[in-house]
A = this chain, B = another copy of it.
Amino acid sequence: MNTRPPTLEEVAQRAGVSTGTVSRVINNARHVSDKSRRAVQSAITELGYVPNTAARSLATARRGAVVLVISSDDPALFANLFFAEVITGVNAVLEETDLQLMLLLAASARGRERFAKVLQSRGADGVMLLALKENDPLSKMAEDSGLPAVHGGRSLDRPPQWYVDADNRGGARAAVEHLIASGRRNIATITGELDTHAGMSRFMGFREATVLAGLSDARVAHGDFSETSGAAGMKLLLDDHPDLDAVFVASDAMATGALSVLRERGKRVPEDVAVVGFNDIVTAQHTRPALTTVRQPIEALGREMTRMLLRLLNGERPTSLILPTELVVRDSA
């Protein structure tokens, strides 16, 4: 549709210097006189020259892009705006560089193939992986490729070398300590899937807080993070431990389920039973009563993953990060 964009060579001609010099100016390398530099710069603006990414990539073997891979097809991942917030964080850091962001949803087999292609064809300089399940093949693929890779979250089996994660354990502990501080003594929990790092960590946090306070950690029901499993867990707990006066629920979705069971059973929240959730999903403030919960710093997760990847690309060896969580006190506890 358009005329061909100007090339570096044309800039060189117009500026009356060689291509080498133009290249030096563009990459602001040393050994360029002020005179040449000025000549080149004005030639560049006059021509509206912008370096061709492909040519540069080919010559430098650097791609100028990183890829963010989202593995989970779990709609719950989206339900708390996780996705949008992570990307906002990633973008904020990348804006300061000249790296582009590529996005890949790799839940399907086709998506995994495409990821493999990107890896093999060196289509990106680095990888950020999000929402992997246990033993997710993507993790191994990334590792095998030899590209710098940063993970969001950890898996239980084999923690990745570089990751950023939220402090699930500390968050859970803070939640339970809040319950204790408000006078609760018979505290129960509904756990998430214990074969996930997050699920297990939140459970450990619960145990830590109760045991440290000299309370029982025996009121436990196991869920899978879903709303229905939260409801089921709450029923079990009420049947087995009718004396409970508080419950720490390992996800807001489960907490929503728990709240409706409590309502059915005629328990007042928080008077009879206090409830704390985890995640601060968008609907948490719209439940009745509004849900007290633990918020994860999701945008910061995106930011820090990106910063870590940049360091890796830069040849440094950063250390993995655990980001603090925050207790959001509303009405349910």
Contact = CB atoms under 8 A, between A and B. Distances in A.
Contact of A54 (B63, B88, B91): B63
B120 A50 contact: yes
Nearest to A55: B58
Contacts of A83: 83-84, 87
Interface stretch (A180-188, A206-214, A238-246, A282-290): A282-290
B65 A58 contact: no
Q: Which of A84, A110, A146 lies at the interface centre, i.e. has the most chain B CB atoms within 10 A of its CB?
A: A84
A52 interface: yes
Nearest to A116: B50
A191 B83 CA distance: 30
A141 to B, nearest CB: 13
A51 B48 CA distance: 31
A57 B286 CA distance: 50
Contact of A102 (B48, B55, B102, B122): B102
Given A53-B123, A83-B83, A100 B88 contact: no
Given A52-B122, A83-B84, A282-B282, A103 B101 contact: yes
A73 B288 CA distance: 30
Given A54-B54, A81-B81, A102-B102, A120 B5 contact: yes
Nearest to A91: B105
Contacts of A323: none
Interface of A: 1-2, 5, 48, 50-55, 57-58, 63, 65, 78-79, 81, 83-85, 87-88, 91, 95-96, 98, 100-105, 108, 110-111, 114, 117-118, 120-123, 145-147, 282-283, 286-288
A287 B282 CA distance: 13
A83 to B, nearest CB: 5
This chain's copy number in the assembly:
2
Contacts of A85: 78
A98 B120 CA distance: 14
Contacts of A117: 50, 98
B121 A52 contact: yes
Contacts of A147: 1
Contacts of A118: 100
Nearest to A99: B114
Contacts of A55: 58
A85 B79 CA distance: 11
Contacts of A146: 1-2
A16 to B, nearest CB: 23
17 contacts: A1-B146, A1-B147, A2-B145, A2-B146, A5-B121, A48-B120, A50-B117, A52-B121, A52-B122, A53-B57, A54-B58, A58-B58, A79-B282, A95-B111, A98-B114, A100-B102, A100-B104
Contacts of A84: 78, 81, 83-84
A282 B80 CA distance: 10
